[in-house]
């Protein structure tokens, strides 16, 4: 029992180690942007051609309405995003990256591309592809049971 492999624990430990690495070496690249705000900048950047509203962010990151609202308000104060009413439904607001938000995202991505390389250091391309595939399957297994 004590010698069993515990995938959930290993994933949590790796997650914590990535966080420690980013805290230690990534502060200069974040400029006060919290990790979740950074992921949101990336989501907005990668979906520039789509209309993104708060509900999309809630669904993408599996966060509550209150959490998303508080985070977006903070990002707006930092001038990383703006919100614009939609013509079709004035109750909904499209979330848009500002120039500052886009620049911040690119700065952070430069750092995180180095982190990604570190994570697969010593693996062949095939091994890295297999790891991504297996992790995607783990995520899928959890999603279908939530």
Q: What is the pTM of this model?
A: 0.72
SS3 24: helix
Query: Does the pLDDT at position 75 exceed 90?
Result: yes
What is the pLDDT confidence band of residue 1, given thresholds at 50, 70 and 90?
low
What is the pLDDT confidence band of residue 87, given thresholds at 50, 70 and 90?
confident
pLDDT above 70 coverage of the chain, percent: 99
Going from the N-terminus, what domains does the chain have, and what CATH number goes with each? 34-101 (1.10.10.10)
Burial status of residue 137 (CB atoms within 10 A of its CB: 0-12, 13-18, 19 or more): exposed
Amino acid 142: pLDDT: 93
Average pLDDT rounded to a whole number, residues 120-144: 96
Per-residue pLDDT of 105-120, as tens digits, reads 999 998 889 999 999 9
Average pLDDT rounded to a whole number, residues 20-30: 84
Best CA proximity match to 43, nearest among 55, 26, 56? 56
Amino acid 91: pLDDT: 85
pLDDT above 90 coverage of the chain, percent: 77
Structure tokens at 72: 């977006």
For 85, phi then psi, to 5°, come to -65, 140
For 83, phi then psi, to 5°, come to -120, 140
């Amino acid at each position: 029992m004590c010698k069993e492999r515990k995938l959930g624990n290993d994933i949590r430990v790796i997650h914590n180690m990535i966080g420690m690495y980013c805290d230690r070496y990534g502060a200069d690249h974040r400029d006060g942007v919290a990790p979740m705000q950074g992921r949101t900048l990336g989501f907005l950047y990668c979906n520039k051609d789509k209309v993104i509203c708060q509900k999309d962010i809630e669904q993408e990151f599996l966060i509550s309405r209150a959490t998303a609202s508080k985070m977006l308000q903070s990002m707006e104060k930092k001038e990383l995003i703006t919100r614009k009413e939609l013509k079709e439904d004035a109750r909904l607001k499209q979330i848009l990256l500002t120039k500052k938000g886009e620049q911040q995202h690119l700065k952070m991505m430069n750092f995180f591309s180095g982190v990604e390389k570190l994570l697969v250091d010593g693996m062949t391309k095939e091994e890295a592809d297999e790891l991504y595939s297996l992790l995607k399957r783990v995520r899928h297994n959890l999603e279908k049971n939530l």
